[in-house]
Amino acid sequence: MDRNIRTVDDVLRLLDGLFAPEADRWTANGAPWWDGFYADRSRPVPFFVSKPDENLASLVDRGLIKPGRALDLGCGPGRNALYLASMGFEVDAVDLSPAAIAWAGSRAEEAGVDVRFRCGDAFGLLAAEPGLPYDLIYDSGCFHHLPPHRRISYRALLDRALAPGGHLALTCFAAGAMGSELSDREFYDQSRLHGGLAYTPEALRWVFSDLAEIELRRMRDEPSESPLFGEPFLWTALFRRAATQRSTASAVS
């Protein structure tokens, strides 16, 4: 007879277990799955390209985000981390996959830019080593792969790691274009995430309602010859934390 639920973390881990083996895509056990995903670098995966998101470049070009300390969540092969470093940001980049981190590190060396790559679960890493807060947290496709209960962990990460006045910028699946539109409850009924969660603008505004919305739009469709990455099935968003703001999420990993 098990009686293992004592903390919020215990509840989150229990709910993670409902989605096995998909849970390996966002938990510390996910390295083997993602290493297999990144094993063949020649695969025609859209975000394997070595160019930054068009929305990220636009934010920098328009001065909506300025050089400072930046965290790239789920950095993959490092394309956005390298861009931020080239624009004068001090960049930490985190990914579950050693294969992705190795690829990103090779790209950084070739480009001659300095990025601090860290391999592991961002929730756990930043809870164990909080360090200084970040002026920018950038997430290109991590958020929409989290199950509903891990939004709690995500918001707790923002509470810990985003500096007062700092920005969260992200891309995620757009409802009607990509991702599953099941209700939160239905994901648990089926114990599947169906490849990722679609979001509406209203849902994003609700999840991040403690942050100020600066911009929320669809990503532009960039042609293959463009120096930028862009796919129209994604939302792009920029939110700003107030200069003085109380924590709104439980401190959970």
- What are the tens digits of pLDDT across the range 220-245? 999 999 999 999 999 999 999 999 86
The answer to the question of residue 155 being in a domain is yes
Contact status, residue 59 vs residue 65, Cβ threshold 8 Å: yes
pLDDT for position 38: 85
pLDDT for position 245: 60
pLDDT for position 185: 97
In total, how many domains does the chain have?
1
Residue for token pair 């496709």: 141
The answer to the question of residue 179 being in a domain is yes
The answer to the question of residue 81 being in a domain is no
pLDDT for position 129: 74
DSSP H/E element including 40: none
pLDDT for position 37: 81
Contact status, residue 181 vs residue 8, Cβ threshold 8 Å: no
- pLDDT tens track of the chain, all 253 residues? 788 899 999 999 999 999 987 777 777 777 787 788 888 888 888 888 999 999 999 999 999 999 999 999 999 999 999 999 999 999 999 999 999 999 999 999 999 999 999 998 888 887 777 678 999 999 999 999 999 999 999 999 999 999 999 999 999 999 999 999 999 999 999 999 999 999 999 999 999 999 999 999 999 999 999 999 999 999 999 999 999 865 555 445 5
pLDDT for position 184: 97
pLDDT for position 246: 57
> How far, CA to CA in Å, does 188 sit from each of 20, 160, 219, 238?
12, 28, 30, 29
What number of other Cβ atoms are within 10 A of residue 218's Cβ? 17
The answer to the question of residue 79 being in a domain is no
Asked whether the CA dihedral 197, 82, 208, 8 is positive or negative, the reply is: positive
DSSP state of 189: H
The answer to the question of residue 145 being in a domain is yes
Contact status, residue 190 vs residue 182, Cβ threshold 8 Å: yes
Give bridge partners of residue 218 from the DSSP assignment: 235
The answer to the question of residue 186 being in a domain is yes
- Phi and psi, residue 183, nearest 5°: -70, 160
The answer to the question of residue 170 being in a domain is yes
Provide the domain limits for residue 229: 8-27+121-240
- Provide the CATH number for the domain around residue 174: 3.40.50.150
The answer to the question of residue 62 being in a domain is no
